[in-house]
Amino acid sequence: MKNNKIILGLGMFFVAAALIFLFFPDKNTNAEFDELKEAAKLCSDGKDKDCIEAFNSIHNGNSNGFNTQKTAQEKFGAEGSYGYDGFDPTNYLTTWNFNNLPEDEREKYYKETKRPDGSLLREYWIYAEDKEIEIAPGVFFPAWTYNGQVPAPTIRATEGDLIRIYFTNKGTKPHTMHFHGIHNSSMDGAMTEDFVYPGQSFTYEFDADPFGVHLFHCHSVPLKQHISKGLYGAYIVDPKNDARPKPDKELVMVMNAFDTNLDGENEVYAVNTKAFYYAINPIKVKKDELIRIYLINIVEFDPINSFHLHATFFDEYSTGTKLEPDAYTDITSMVQGERSILDVKFKYTGMYMFHAHVSEFAELGWMGFFEVE
């Protein structure tokens, strides 16, 4: 869309303006602010070329030494660009049961077999592995992963299916897979006798029950370390008899964070691991289509996280375990492990921000855009 840069520029303008007041409340502020306002006016007057030039000029530091975009990025820790570490957050949004892989590659990790009652046996091959991942442009984190990615590959079944997971620990610490859901204690992956040591394997088997949006994570000790290092993923169970409206698009979003200096606090926040990824690569959707978001909060060390969406409201199904929404809102807050299904429709085209309404988290990476066409 041709106005992307303008809109992104405007977004950065407001963000930068807010930051200027926060960090540089000196008397130069008004002059800088006026310059930004002038540039923004060119955009709103439809003078696209002049507008882009004006923003570029500010961006290039030709304007009172003040560099809008750079300042905003630096304050947000979003300097530079991402390389490719094998994980693409845009693909992750719409990937479950390894459906992003070609068939011959997919069958190494996932297989489904019809059972006599019509339900499916779903088999997964999951391994734990230590791997360095890129969590902000140029910032690498020594993660513990499932199948080399954070969050793990999404597991998705229909209520009543049988899930069987062949888990192998290729990492350097004892790990497990602990699923939220209804199952036998021997499949809970939470006690010391359940730990799967490096080089060992274990097979988890349980019914997909109840329907909803759930999660799985390692439950080895220290738990906060095994979670914050990256061992978690989304587990979606679809209702057998679904009376909800049919979505046009489904997106998996895991709110996570990283403690890069091991001080027990997070330095980088995100949805789906990479800080500001969806600000740099907005999520493309269409006006009036129904977007169903499977939202999970797994952030360690901070007691509360939230999801706020601009310019529209959503139906929220808490934990996704009922067929009727229990809220109509534009913000939801979650403790660790909490999750919801959000049904979203945009009434207008444009670029719309979504972010944690915990400003610190937003400024450290947890913000992005929907680009509505």
If the CB atoms of residues 220 and 266 are measured against Cu ion, the closer one turns out to be: 220
| Minimum distance of Cu ion from residue 218's CB (angstroms) | 3
Helix 68-76 and helix 48-59, axial crossing angle in degrees, nearest 10:
60
| Minimum distance of Cu ion from residue 85's CB (angstroms) | 20
If the CB atoms of residues 39 and 187 are measured against Cu ion, the closer one turns out to be: 187
Q: What is the CA radius of gyration of the chain?
A: 22
| Minimum distance of Cu ion from residue 213's CB (angstroms) | 22
- Number of Cβ within a 10 Å radius of residue 369: 24
- End-to-end, the C-alpha distance of the chain in Å comes to 8
| Minimum distance of Cu ion from residue 217's CB (angstroms) | 8
If the CB atoms of residues 198 and 325 are measured against Cu ion, the closer one turns out to be: 198
| Minimum distance of Cu ion from residue 171's CB (angstroms) | 7
List of residues contacting Cu ion (CB under 5 A): 175, 218, 220, 226, 231
If the CB atoms of residues 227 and 295 are measured against Cu ion, the closer one turns out to be: 227
If the CB atoms of residues 174 and 320 are measured against Cu ion, the closer one turns out to be: 174
If the CB atoms of residues 122 and 226 are measured against Cu ion, the closer one turns out to be: 226
